[in-house]
Amino acid sequence: MGDAMDHEDRLTAAAEQTEDRRADASLRPHSLDEFIGQEELKENLRVFISAARQRGEVLDHVLLHGPPGLGKTTLAQILAAEMGLEIRLTSGPAFSSPAELIALLSEQADRRAIFIDEIHRLNRVLEEHLYPAMEDWRIELIIDKGPNARHFNLQLEPFTLIGATTRAGLITSALRSRFGIVCHLDFYPPGDLAVIITRSARILGIGIDEQGAHEIARRSRGTPRAANRLLRRVRDFAQVAGDSIITGEVADAGLTRLGVDKLGLENLDRHYLRLIMEHFGGGPVGIQNLAVSLGEEQDTLEDVIEPFLIQAGLLQRTPRGREVTPAAWRHLELEPRPGDQGRGSTQ
Ligand code: ADP
């Protein structure tokens, strides 16, 4: 159906993601001072880092949660660098057996941090191996079965586990309680994003003025990764049009051509809202229903699409499902049909 993102869009999105990941690496801040915004969080982390250093201990385990692209991986690398630790980067779904996790935890390495992205996707059996490892640097191994079963304790070198998740709600309370430091990353206000864009432009050698940076910032969904991506795309348009500086006007024209509207919504966001409006009377509608109609994974909708729409006041999550707000109808310039919204379930 017309609401689904078409094949071409997907291929472009996938290619852009690969390119973005590469470019991201050059733009990644390397210290807390270079990490822009999230002031309160940074202040707290500074205190925890210097306290751990004074005591000569490893930093307590850290859980970072918040939507994708807000800087969780970046912060994990910075924390390790500030503590003088080597960091191993991995992710929850990357482990297929307990042996792989045990091998990683038992590596003989002094002073290190282990970063597990998408930690909510770690399988439960593996997760149980983490508990004693996080609490007292120990892994319990059971060899043989039944009456012959023997228990061994494997002693580990101290390490700091840094877990990241887009969904704190999916982490078991047993795992969550073992993190001494839990940090939430919020969407960035446009002022902070403008600073990030100006910094990225300087690193990439892109000419941009203040209005240009602000225009991109306002339309970056509160997300540094999106801000950097849009900066590079707008640069392409500017370059082809022969503009050497990205001004407010150049940014506006480029973003509009990219399908990024005044609020920063892109095709998939608009498809999502329009689907609820046109096919489900504005909601409430269940997430599975939306995922099937859009041909998208439910996780993508919940992790990538919905948090910003909710923050922008366009969408509400209710016990009966997703509902668009009057602001969403106005933004898409659509009219609810009589009795459409709030009439009850349309599933
Ligand atoms: P996450 O792990 O939360 O998905 P990342 O840490 O990969 O996000 O961040 C995506 C990109 O955004 C990074 O490569 C970096 O360039 C940029 N970025 C994120 N947070 C900041 C920040 N606070 N200041 C500057 N750049 C940032």
Residues with CB under 6 A from ligand 1: 24, 27-29, 35-37, 68-74, 164, 196, 224-225, 228
Q: Which residue, by CA, sits nearest to atom 14 of ligand 1?
A: 24
Q: Of 9-13, 116-120, 304-308, which range is least confident?
A: 9-13
C-alpha 16 – ligand 1 centre gap (Å): 16
Per-residue confidence at 4, pLDDT binned at 50, 70, 90? Answer: very low
Residue 11 has pLDDT above 80, yes or no: no
Q: Tell me the two tokens of residue 298.
A: 């439910």
Q: Please give the number of the atom of ligand 1 that sits closest to the Cα of 64.
A: 3
Of 147 and 3, the structure prediction assigns the larger pLDDT to 147
Q: Which residue, by CA, sits nearest to atom 9 of ligand 1?
A: 71
> Average pLDDT of 183-210?
96
C-alpha 98 – ligand 1 centre gap (Å): 30
**Torsion angle, CA of 64/267/262/233, rounded to 10 degrees?**
80
- Cα separation, 112 vs 30, whole angstroms: 17
Q: How do residues 244-297 score in pLDDT, each as one tens digit?
A: 899 999 999 999 999 999 999 999 999 999 999 999 999 899 999 999 999 999
| Residue 92 near residue 129 (C-beta atoms within 8 A) | no
Q: Would you state the pLDDT for residue 96?
A: 87
| Residue 164 near residue 71 (C-beta atoms within 8 A) | no
Q: Would you state the pLDDT for residue 5?
A: 47
Beta strands in 66-143 (DSSP E): 86-91, 112-117, 138-143
Q: Are strands 181-184 and 150-155 parallel, antiparallel or unpaired?
A: unpaired
Residue % of the chain over a pLDDT of 90? 72
Q: How do residues 24-76 score in pLDDT, each as one tens digit?
A: 778 999 999 999 999 999 999 999 999 999 999 889 999 999 999 999 999 99
C-alpha 225 – ligand 1 centre gap (Å): 6
Q: What SS3 state is found at 287?
A: helix
User: What are the residue numbers of the active site?
Assistant: 72-73, 117, 166, 225
| Residue 45 near residue 72 (C-beta atoms within 8 A) | no
> For all residues of the chain together, what is the average pLDDT?
90
Whole-model pTM: value is 0.88
Q: What SS3 state is found at 122?
A: coil
| Number of neighbours of residue 288 by Cβ within 10 angstroms | 12
Per-residue confidence at 12, pLDDT binned at 50, 70, 90? Answer: low
| Residue 193 near residue 222 (C-beta atoms within 8 A) | yes
| Residue 121 near residue 93 (C-beta atoms within 8 A) | yes
φ/ψ of 167, rounded to 5, equals: -135, 90
Residue 146 has pLDDT above 90, yes or no: no
- Cα separation, 12 vs 101, whole angstroms: 35
